[in-house]
Chain A
Amino acid sequence: MSKGKSDIQIDSKIIDGIREGNNLAIEQLYQIHFPPIAQMIVNNRGSREEAQDIFQETVMVLYTKINEGDFVLSSKLQTFLYAVSKRLWLKHLTRGEARYHKDSIDDYGESLAAEEAIVEHEVIEERLLLMESSLNGLGEPCRTILYDFYIQGKSMTDICEKFGYTNADNAKTQKYKCLQRLKKVFFKVVNSY
């Protein structure tokens, strides 16, 4: 019983760590959860490299889930990761085929939760990747201005100094223009889907 308790403690510690972007938590996650998943993939016609890829994808799904704030661990973390990995691996294997058979999966409930998590992850990841690439595509000085202000949280006066703007109003106008451009680029792509 004490072991089960400590497992849950470790799980929630890892989840908190990931929320904070703690590298130690990621390492611990790897050490504890990667071997059984790698084993599962290698035993199912996979290579070690593919196992690595699948596991990274799985961790990203977990990351999305944690950062969307609605993550409540209904089972052990291992169970969740295993189900997600399995689902991803199955998708990978049946890539190119029209449909894969959901009923080939043993624990149905767990796999549904995993499937939902994956779909959610895919939607969010697509949006955020687009955001990232839009920002990177802006060019200087817009990218840095927006990055410094919105992501780093620097004050406008710092930004003024950094870029040599003579007054804060110029900087503010510049920032606003940049933001509008970013929105334009971002939604142009979004609407083109």
Chain B
Amino acid sequence: MKDLNEQDFLEWADAYLREELSEEEKRQFEAYCEANPVQKELLEWHQTFVGDLKKADARVNFQRDLIRIAQGYGKSYQPKSTTKVISLWDRLKLNAAVAAAIAIVSVFSTLWLTGYYKNLKKTTSDYSALRRDMNTVKRNVNAQNAAIQNIHNTKDNAKETMHYGATGFMITKNGYVVTNYHVITGADSVHLQNHKGESFKANIVFTNPEKDLAILHINDSTFKSIKSIPYTFKKQDSDMGEDVYTIGFPRDEAVYGQGYLSSSTGYAGDTLAYQISIPVNPGNSGGPLLDKEGNVIGIISGKQKGLDGAAFAIKTKALMETLNSIPADSLNGKNVVLNNKNLLHNLSRTDQIKKLQDYIYIVKVY
């Protein structure tokens, strides 16, 4: 048989491969291939190529099916695992965020309102101011008793409002009294009561929170100006080791306390205070610190927690500075004129106290 060109041969080959030839023609073709090794090679090569063409298409189809099935599978799979937890979270995350924000705000505002941060500040310091919480327990018990007695009484009882007690003492004969600032902070009204039981209403004239001092003025018709104050104020610093004493109201009666000046600086190196060794208790705050001649050298203000016999008194110098810094119009024409005549220095201690105690007051803060 004659040689065919490539096109004609491939035509024939295609027909052979597609099995369109009769048995007779097939044999003819095979025989032709046997006779022409070059054409035979071409046939094999063509066969592979066409096979690949088919395979490539089948493969693409298969892959398309696979991806479609995978997507279908992924879809049917995913809702199963996500419905319960994640979709719940999706729906509720806004609510959760709002709830968390409210919780945070309310926690911190509650802490702030209840004075937690103030307390925190206080408790981190080991300095303790010596104002007296007026018989909290007794007051609570009394209030409960009253409540029990008036159990059928629908009227509200007048609220027990007294908060704190401390000490104060007179600095001028026209009615100025000094006490600690921490005693009268947050006060609605301040009353002074002497050891005879006479009570006077007092105004707060001036406060100095840095030095922890407050100047009060007795503003009561029953108060009569007094002739003179028996003690003077010693403006120079006193020396270490000096005998000192104080009178204060850690309870409802005056209490005498005696000791010595143990350091010329106060808490944490405060140069406007002394350290003294006198047993003091809450309620002693604002009491006068006197030396043996009857000069006021300081004002009891606090003590150090956890240390025995470490009490502190504000120096008279700080009192003087405070008095000088009072604006003139706060004084209403009643000038602060300090006494400079000491009536105590030759007296025995008991006589000193007798003379003194008329001028020392229990400060009741309502």
A63 and B18 contacting across the interface, CB-CB below 8 Å: no
Q: Offer 26 A-B interface pairs, CB within 8 angstroms, sorted by A.
A: A21-B58, A21-B62, A26-B65, A31-B73, A52-B74, A56-B63, A56-B67, A60-B63, A60-B66, A63-B62, A67-B55, A67-B58, A67-B59, A125-B59, A128-B52, A128-B55, A128-B59, A131-B52, A131-B53, A132-B56, A150-B53, A150-B54, A153-B18, A172-B11, A173-B7, A176-B10
Indicate if the CB atoms of A34 and B65 lie closer than 8 Å: no
Q: How far is the CB of B61 from chain A (nearest CB, A)?
A: 6
Using known A-B contacts A67-B55, A150-B53, determine if residue A27 contacts B10 with beta carbons closer than 8 Å: no
Please tell me if the beta carbons of B53 and A146 are within 8 angstroms of each other in the complex: yes
Number of A residues near B (Cβ < 8 Å) is 34
The 7 residue pairs across chains A and B that have the minimum distance between CB atoms? A128-B56, A131-B56, A132-B56, A176-B7, A151-B57, A30-B73, A26-B69
Chain A residue at smallest Cβ distance from B60:
A132
A83 to chain B, nearest CB (A): 19
Is the pair B7, A21 in contact by a Cβ cutoff of 8 Å? no
**A-B pairs with CB below 8 Å: how many?**
69
Q: Is the interface of A mostly helix, strand, loop or mixed?
A: helix
Given contacts A27-B72, A132-B57, 17 further A-B contacts (CB under 8 A): A30-B73, A31-B73, A34-B73, A67-B55, A67-B59, A125-B59, A128-B52, A131-B55, A146-B53, A147-B57, A150-B53, A151-B53, A151-B57, A173-B7, A176-B11, A179-B10, A183-B49
Residues of B within 8 A of A173 (CB): 7
In chain A, positions 47-82 with a C-beta closer than 8 Å to chain B are 48, 52, 55-56, 59-60, 63, 67
Chain B 24-65: CB-based contact to A (< 8 A → 1; otherwise 0):
000000000000000000000000011011111111111101
Cα of A147 to Cα of B57 in the assembled complex, Å: 9
How many whole Å from B304's CB to the nearest CB in chain A?
A: 61
Would you call B103 an interface residue if the criterion is a C-beta within 8 Å of the partner chain's C-beta atoms? Answer: no
Closest partner residue, chain B, to A24 (CB atom): B69
Q: Which residue of B lies closest to A55 (CB)?
A: B70
Nearest-neighbour CB distance to chain A for B114, whole angstroms, equals 49
Q: How many residues of B contact A (CB 8 A)?
A: 27
A residues less than 8 Å from B62 (CB atoms): 18, 21, 63
Q: Does A127 contact B (CB under 8 A)?
A: yes
Given A52-B74, A176-B11: A23 touches B54 (CB 8 Å cut-off) = no
Query: Out of B14, B52, B56, B70, which one reaches A30, CB within 8 Å?
Result: B70
A1 within 8 A of B: no
* Chain B contacts with A in 60-116, Cβ cutoff 8 A: 60-63, 65-67, 69-70, 72-74
The reply to whether B69 and A30 contact each other, CB–CB distance below 8 Å, is: yes
- From known contacts A21-B61, A60-B63, infer whether A27 and B69 are also in contact, taking CB-CB under 8 Å: yes
- Which residues of B sit under 8 angstroms from A127, Cβ to Cβ? 52
Q: How far is the CB of A88 from chain B (nearest CB, A)?
A: 15
CA distance A125 to B59 in the complex (A): 9
Q: Is A98 an interface residue (CB 8 A)?
A: no
Cβ contacts A115-139/B at 8 Å (1 or 0 each): 0000000000101110110010000
A23 adjacent to B65 (CB under 8 Å):
yes
Q: How far is the CA of A131 from the CA of B57 in the complex (A)?
A: 9
Kindly state the separation between the CA atoms of A31 and B66 in the bound complex, as whole angstroms.
13
Q: Which residue of A lies closest to B73 (CB)?
A: A30
Report the minimum CB–CB distance from B348 to chain A (whole Å): 93
Give Cα distance in the complex from A142 to B34, angstroms.
Answer: 32
| Residue of A31, A55, A131 with highest tally of chain B CB at under 10 A | A131
CB neighbours (8 Å) of A18 from chain B are: 62
A140 to chain B, nearest CB (A): 17
